């Protein structure tokens, strides 16, 4: 930036020599002038042009490139910060709004930090230098010529506030449009299934029209500002020509001085007119930077603290001590007290909304439990380094999310250098291997966005492979077999029993068949543990678990009759 500033000074210094050379050339024409002198003046002009071009190139290569590097740093910071934000943030924010801040808003900030700074500094330097030169040439002519230009700051101040407000509205509307497009594309199956294409199009069209109207509102402000600046600059030239011409007539100025003065006035007009452009860029950049800072200032909430211990390995013992948890003001879990010994399998069952997923999501700190309520190996989970905690936990969530990569890359996502044999073994455990072998490209098959080319069961089995391949000490299966048939479920569970041996496993399910062989089963209802024990104990107790079991047996019997 310092080199760019120096180059900017040199560019303007050389540029200000040109009118002086023009003055000498014109005054020399009134006298007897030789061709060698004209050639000398032409050579001086050529030298000024070349030198100015060199230094202007340096300005763009320093200030311009630096703004690109700043854009890279800010974008990297944004992405890194987004990775650290809790799930609750993404529940509040629209994906399209986040994307808009990382693209359109960042572009406006880059324009401010690059061209904005460059032209603003250039305008200030040129204005002060030219003003001093013009005052040394003729004070009265200078003051008269600048009278129209003194009105420019009044317009810039008045319109600046309007441009800031309207720029912010435009950026927010872009975020809304991005969100609508993202939702429609991601949910295209639902849109088509319900025949809502026309409705979604109408909503998107209305949002686009709103964007046009807001953009036109901003354009109207710009449309007033620029012509007004041009008009005021033109009046300055008229005044200079009128008064300066009268001074030439009475021989108080030479013709060369008047032409040089007009040349300096034309140079001065550019920074005065650039005020509007810089103000526009400043307002857009400020509005966008505010939206970016709003994201960057959002605290991660879940992160390592000064109380974090130097834990390197996890055995897998889990203990809940009177845990009560709520988010968004709604109580989800109430007074949960439970101890899971390392290497055992805990099953969790209960009605929809009972808090099953929330309970297991607290273990890898996807949500943060209250202090002193959740312990792993006797250490408060909040005091275990996040990277250590999550490295030792393999989690298969309800939403079987796959990246737009190959099947092999999706399975190996949790480890950096998985071998083909490791991928194959993990696929065999989840019973996805046979399906993969039937694909033309097998493990190199691209699954499409969110795994759209795979069935629900295939996606679930792929995510199970992803968890298994990491060889975790704690394995969490959050209703991860709901999309497979009972035969495939039994085959997967048979393989998983071997994998789960020696490691702590938590299985959340609505199916009794999935969890009946677990070492311990708890039944959640309305955020509380209402029953716990083995399968046989709970069936014999005749409570909620037994009721669920009887209903599922009846359903299976009816399906067999059909």
Q: Average pLDDT for consecutive 10-residue bins of the chain (562 residues)?
A: 83 82 77 73 85 85 82 87 82 77 82 77 81 85 80 67 76 80 74 77 89 86 75 80 84 82 80 68 80 84 80 86 83 87 87 84 86 88 86 81 81 79 82 81 78 74 82 83 69 75 84 82 87 86 84 71 57
> Per-residue b/e over 336-346, b at no fewer than 16 CB within 10 Å?
bebebebbbbb
Q: Which two tokens stand for residue 184?
A: 């429609």
Q: Which CATH class is domain 399-471?
A: alpha beta
d(CA 547, CA 349): 12
For 464, counting Cβ atoms within 10 Å of its Cβ (0-12 exposed, 13-18 middle, 19+ buried), the class is: buried
Q: Which two tokens stand for residue 214?
A: 């807001």
**Assessment of whether the complete model's pTM goes beyond 0.75:** no
pLDDT at 155: 67
- Is the separation of the CB atoms in 347 and 523 below 8 Å? no
Phi, psi of 440 (to 5 degrees): -55, -40
pLDDT at 483: 64
H-only helix segments in 399-518? 407-411, 420-429, 433-438, 456-468, 486-500, 512-515
Q: Which two tokens stand for residue 533?
A: 């024990």
Q: Which helix (H) or strand (E) holds 481?
A: none
Topology annotation, domain 2-176+216-296 = ABC transporter transmembrane region fold (1.20.1560)
d(CA 184, CA 192): 10
H-only helix segments in 376-419? 386-391, 407-411
- Is the separation of the CB atoms in 349 and 509 below 8 Å? yes
* The pairing of beta strand 345-349 with beta strand 330-340: unpaired
Topology annotation, domain 307-392+474-562 = Rossmann fold (3.40.50)
Nearest in space to 160 (alpha carbons), one of 290, 281, 274, 268 = 281
CB count within 10 Å of CB 497 equals: 12
Domain(s) labelled CATH 3.40.50.300 in the chain stretch across 307-392+474-562, 399-471
pLDDT at 277: 67
Torsion sign across C-alpha atoms 87, 89, 94, 99: negative
Phi, psi of 172 (to 5 degrees): -65, -35
d(CA 154, CA 145): 17
Residue 216 φ/ψ region, left for φ over 0, alpha for ψ in the -120 to 50 degree band, beta for the rest:
alpha
Domain(s) labelled CATH 1.20.1560.10 in the chain stretch across 2-176+216-296
């Amino acid at each position: 930036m310092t080199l760019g500033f120096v180059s900017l000074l040199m560019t303007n210094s050389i540029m200000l020599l040109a009118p002086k050379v023009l003055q000498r050339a014109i005054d020399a024409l009134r006298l007897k002038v030789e061709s060698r002198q004209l050639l000398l003046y032409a050579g001086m002009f050529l030298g000024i042009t070349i030198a100015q071009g060199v230094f202007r190139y340096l300005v763009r290569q320093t200030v311009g490139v630096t703004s690109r590097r700043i854009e890279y740093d800010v974008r990297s910071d944004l992405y890194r910060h987004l990775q650290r934000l809790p799930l609750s943030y993404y529940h509040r924010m629209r994906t399209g709004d986040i994307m808009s801040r990382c693209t359109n808003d960042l572009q406006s900030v880059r324009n401010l930090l690059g061209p904005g700074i460059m032209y603003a500094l250039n305008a200030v330097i040129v204005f002060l230098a030219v003003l001093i030169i013009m005052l040394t040439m003729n004070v009265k002519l200078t003051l008269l010529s600048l009278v129209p230009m003194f009105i420019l700051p009044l317009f810039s101040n008045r319109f600046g506030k309007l441009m800031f407000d309207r720029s912010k509205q435009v950026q927010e509307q872009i975020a809304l449009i991005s969100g609508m497009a993202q939702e429609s594309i991601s949910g295209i199956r639902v849109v088509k299934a319900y025949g809502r294409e026309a409705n979604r199009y109408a909503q998107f069209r209305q949002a686009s029209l709103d964007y046009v109207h807001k953009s036109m509102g901003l354009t109207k402000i710009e449309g007033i500002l620029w012509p007004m600046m041009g008009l005021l600059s033109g009046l300055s030239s008229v005044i200079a020509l009128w008064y300066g011409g009268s001074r030439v007539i009475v021989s108080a100025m030479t013709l060369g001085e008047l032409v040089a003065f007009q040349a300096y006035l034309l140079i001065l007009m550019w920074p005065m007119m650039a005020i509007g452009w810089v103000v526009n860029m400043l307002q857009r950049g400020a509005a966008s930077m505010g939206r970016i800072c709003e994201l960057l200032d959002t605290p991660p909430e879940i992160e390592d603290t000064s109380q974090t211990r130097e834990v390197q390995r996890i055995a897998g013992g889990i203990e809940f001590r009177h845990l009560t948890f709520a988010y968004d003001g709604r109580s989800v879990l109430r007074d949960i007290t439970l101890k899971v010994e390392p290497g055992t399998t805990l099953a969790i069952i209960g009605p929809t909304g009972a808090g099953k997923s929330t309970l297991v999501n607290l273990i890898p700190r996807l949500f943060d439990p209250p202090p002193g309520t959740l312990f792993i190996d006797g250490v408060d989970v909040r005091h275990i380094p996040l990277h250590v905690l999550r490295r030792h936990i393999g989690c298969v969530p309800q939403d079987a999310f796959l990246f737009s990569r190959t099947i092999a890359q999706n399975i190996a996502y949790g480890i950096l250098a998985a071998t083909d044999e490791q991928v194959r073994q993990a696929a065999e455990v989840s019973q996805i291997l046979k399906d993969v072998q039937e694909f033309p490209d097998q493990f190199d098959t691209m699954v499409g966005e969110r795994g759209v080319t795979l069935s629900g069961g295939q996606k679930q089995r792929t995510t199970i492979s992803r968890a298994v391949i990491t060889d975790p000490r704690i394995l969490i299966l959050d209703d991860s077999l709901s999309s497979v048939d009972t035969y495939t479920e039994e085959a997967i569970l048979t393989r998983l029993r071997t994998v789960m041996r020696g490691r702590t496993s938590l299985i959340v399910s609505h199916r009794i068949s999935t969890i009946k062989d677990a070492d311990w089963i708890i039944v959640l209802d309305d955020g509380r543990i209402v029953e716990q024990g083995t399968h046989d104990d709970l069936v014999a107790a005749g409570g909620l678990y037994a009721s669920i079991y009887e209903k599922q047996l009846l359903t299976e019997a009816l399906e067999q009759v059909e």
